[in-house]
Amino acid sequence: MSANATVMPPAPVDSEQTPQSRSLAALVDELRGLAAVPSLEKLDSLLEGVQLSEEDLRPYRSFKAGNYARHRVFRNAHVELLVLCWRPGQRTPIHDHNGSHGAVRVCEGVMWETIFEQDAQSQLRYKSARQWLTGGVTGAEVPDIHQLGNPDVSGQDMVTLHLYAPPLGVLNTYKVGSAEVGRYSLDQFIDGAGI
């Protein structure tokens, strides 16, 4: 994280559920009722309004030693909802969502997000970085290229809630200073697997 990186404050958390907030079960019910792929603004709104309890996260809360773990909560033709569990130092490769947009809510811990861009020769370069605290929500529009991770200096586990529309398929991966593009396919995103 660079010295000029943006630090995003956590969203206010109210111990009582407000009329705008919803439980994980209510969020899944709302997702089940969608008739079309929602906008990024709608994804952000849905995740900003969810209040997760320890009980909500318990079925999805498991970690891996070598890489972060992905746990599917819900998927239909329009959206996919996942819980990701991260040990300190675990991070994604640099990637895009290949036609999907997505929103992420930090449920526990601290998340670092690094944004990249391609230059005129399609080589990848650093653009900016942000830090998200518990309760923070960030979104990735098409064709955003980024990397998420739990900083090793955090000293704590991280749990995040991810909502993608449409559901993820093949993701593109990148390397700084290169025009090379790698791919991860859907079968590599089984429950518990990270990339």
Closest CA to 164 of 21, 40, 35: 40
All domains in the chain, ordered by first residue: 21-189 (2.60.120.10)
Distance CA(190)–CA(17), nearest Å, equals: 32
Parallel, antiparallel, or unpaired for β 6-8 and 124-133? parallel
DSSP conformational letter for 176 = B
Cα 167 to its chain centre, rounded Å, is 13
Res 188: pLDDT: 58
83, 160 Cβ separation under 8 angstroms: yes
Res 120: pLDDT: 87
Question: What pTM, to 2 d.p., does this model score?
Answer: 0.85
Distance CA(124)–CA(140), nearest Å, equals: 17
Res 191: pLDDT: 55
Residue appearing with tokens 């025009």: 179
User: Which range has the worst mean pLDDT, 34-38, 43-47, 187-191?
Assistant: 187-191
pLDDT in tens, 90-119: 999 999 998 999 999 999 999 999 999 988
51, 22 Cβ separation under 8 angstroms: yes
pLDDT in tens, 39-91: 999 999 999 989 899 999 999 999 998 889 999 999 999 999 999 999 999 99
Two tokens, residue 117 = 């861009």
pLDDT in tens, 143-168: 889 999 999 999 999 999 999 999 99
pLDDT at 15 over 70: no
